[in-house]
């Protein structure tokens, strides 16, 4: 294996350099698949969404599937984000370790809004309601090809429904994880270093993801039965992300930073940290797209199985109100 000697100052630069990034554009608007940009999973949310170079739990299919290549046990995970304005978002993940340092599993992410009364031009209620629902059904695969490299893929089917209209699509994400300790240090040498577990994550997301909307049924039923509907294609912007993470203080402190840019919006910076006060209890904090975040995590054994409970809190943004995220994981 090729190994590269990198000094401690240079390694620090690798960890912290993303922190100088600023949003590249003002007035970014909303685009198809906007719910993909909402952090899900209590641990990544508490760390400001800086998770591309970590992604070793049930949230990995959302951030970087390559992080699951080292999975040693079967994993079941779920998360739910309590949001204002009657919105909801969450996920369920089921992963299995397979041969050759690889993992395979299923992932379901959902997002939607509560029902809204339909009114006419005079403000009178009509006898129907509108709601919006989005689903992401995925197959996830990850494999560690070399000591220093893991690759992950997520192939998904998207379903969205609004009123009488439905849209379907398929898409593909790719993720890569570099384990820099395997390149920087000789075997066993990293144990004496103040910086450990240096990782770099790279993601390419939403290839071919798009929604094709047809409003014929809605127009015929509610507007004018003699009119023809229209068709509109909404493409999900392709996204590229780069992240880095490392552990300090005998691995008690984990620091991470991500820079994410899609084809339609300015770059976004995410930064966060996690500190294990005790081996079973962690506190977290971060900054994400104008919000400060915080949270905790607790790990315990139940019937010789590992259970993880995480909580995150995000501060107010654009008068939407603060939000709370809860996650549960079970390794068996």
State the pLDDT at residue 35.
79
Phi-psi region of 279 (alpha: psi -120 to 50; beta: other; left: phi over 0): alpha
Model confidence pLDDT, tens digit, residues 182-199 = 887 655 565 667 899 999
Tell me how far apart the alpha carbons of residues 43 and 209 are, in angstroms, rounded to a whole number: 27
State the pLDDT at residue 10.
42
Stretch 298-319: mean pLDDT? 88
As beta bridge partners, residue 305 has 302
**Beta-strand relationship, 281-288 and 268-278:** antiparallel
Model confidence pLDDT, tens digit, residues 93-117 = 999 999 989 999 999 999 987 777 7
**202, 92, 196: which is closest to 151 by C-alpha?**
202
Q: Where are the domains of the chain?
A: 8-40+49-73+86-267
Model confidence pLDDT, tens digit, residues 148-191 = 999 999 999 999 988 778 888 999 999 999 999 888 765 556 56
CB atoms within 10 A of CB 61: 30
């Amino acid at each position: 294996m090729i190994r590269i000697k990198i000094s401690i100052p240079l390694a620090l630069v690798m960890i912290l350099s993303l922190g100088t990034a600023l949003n590249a554009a003002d007035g970014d608007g909303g685009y198809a698949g906007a719910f993909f940009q909402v952090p899900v999973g209590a641990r990544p949310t508490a760390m400001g969404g800086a998770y591309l170079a970590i992604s070793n739990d049930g949230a990995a299919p959302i951030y970087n599937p390559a992080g699951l290549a080292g999975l040693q046990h079967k994993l079941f995970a779920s998360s739910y984000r309590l949001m204002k304005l009657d919105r909801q978002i969450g996920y369920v993940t089921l992963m299995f370790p397979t041969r050759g340092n690889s993992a395979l599993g299923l992932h379901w992410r959902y997002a939607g809004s509560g029902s809204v009364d339909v009114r006419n031009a005079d403000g009178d209620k009509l006898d129907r309601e509108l709601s919006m629902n989005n689903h992401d059904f995925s197959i996830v695969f990850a494999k560690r090809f070399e000591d220093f490299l893991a690759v992950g893929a997520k192939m998904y089917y998207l379903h969205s429904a609004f009123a009488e209209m439905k849209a379907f699509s398929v898409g593909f994400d790719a993720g890569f994880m570099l384990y820099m300790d395997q390149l920087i240090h000789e075997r066993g040498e990293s144990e004496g270093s103040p910086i450990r577990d240096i990782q770099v994550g790279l993601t390419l997301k939403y290839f071919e993801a798009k929604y094709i909307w047809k409003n014929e049924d809605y127009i015929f039923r509610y507007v004018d039965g003699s009119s023809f509907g229209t068709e509109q294609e909404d493409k999900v912007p392709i996204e590229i992300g780069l992240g880095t993470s490392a552990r300090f203080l005998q691995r008690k402190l984990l620091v991470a930073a991500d820079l994410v840019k899609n084809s339609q919006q300015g770059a976004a910076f995410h930064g966060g940290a996690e500190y294990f006060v005790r081996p079973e209890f962690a506190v977290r904090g971060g900054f994400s797209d104008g919000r400060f975040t915080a949270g905790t995590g607790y790990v315990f054994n139940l019937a010789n199985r590992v259970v993880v409970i995480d909580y995150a809190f995000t501060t107010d943004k654009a008068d939407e109100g603060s939000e709370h995220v809860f996650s549960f994981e079970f390794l068996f």
